[in-house]
């Protein structure tokens, strides 16, 4: 039995959902492809569909990446306006 601890792999990737072997990198890639909610991560990747212990961490990864994309988009928009 595991406790959904974050298992670090080489390349600074970590397994977020141990039950389904889903890494933070895969969650970020899914966000880059358009996913934006836990419901979508559950549906498309199976995150948090077994023991559910990864839900909090998966949500953190999801929201952190959504926020970083927003900052990048805003910076890109401002750069485009300044040019
Ligand atoms: S770690 Fe069990 S459902 Fe994700």
User: How far apart, in whole angstroms, are the C-alpha atoms of residue 48 and residue 42?
Assistant: 6
Q: Is 40 exposed, middle or buried (0-12, 13-18, 19+ CB in 10 A)?
A: middle
Residue nearest ligand 1's atom 2 by CA: 51
Q: Is the Cβ–Cβ distance between 14 and 7 less than 8 Å?
A: yes
Residue 55 CA to ligand 1 centre (angstroms)? 7
pLDDT value, residue 17: 97
Please tell me the residue having the least CA distance from ligand 1 atom 4: 17
Cβ of 30 closer than 6 Å to ligand 1, yes or no, is no
Q: How many other C-beta atoms lie within 10 A of the C-beta of residue 63?
A: 13
Which domains does the chain show, CATH number per domain? 3-68 (1.10.10.1100)
Task: Give the pLDDT confidence of 6-56 residue by residue, as tens digits.
Answer: 544 445 689 999 999 999 999 999 999 999 999 999 999 999 999 999 999
């Amino acid at each position: 039995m595991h406790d959904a601890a974050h298992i670090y792999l080489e390349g600074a990737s970590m397994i977020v959902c141990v039950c389904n072997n889903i890494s933070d990198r895969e969650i970020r890639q899914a966000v880059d492809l358009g996913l934006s909610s836990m419901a979508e991560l559950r549906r498309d990747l199976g995150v948090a569909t077994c023991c559910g212990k990864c839900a909090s961490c998966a949500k953190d990864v999801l929201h952190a990446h959504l926020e970083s994309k927003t900052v990048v988009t805003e910076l890109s928009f401002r750069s485009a306006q300044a040019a």
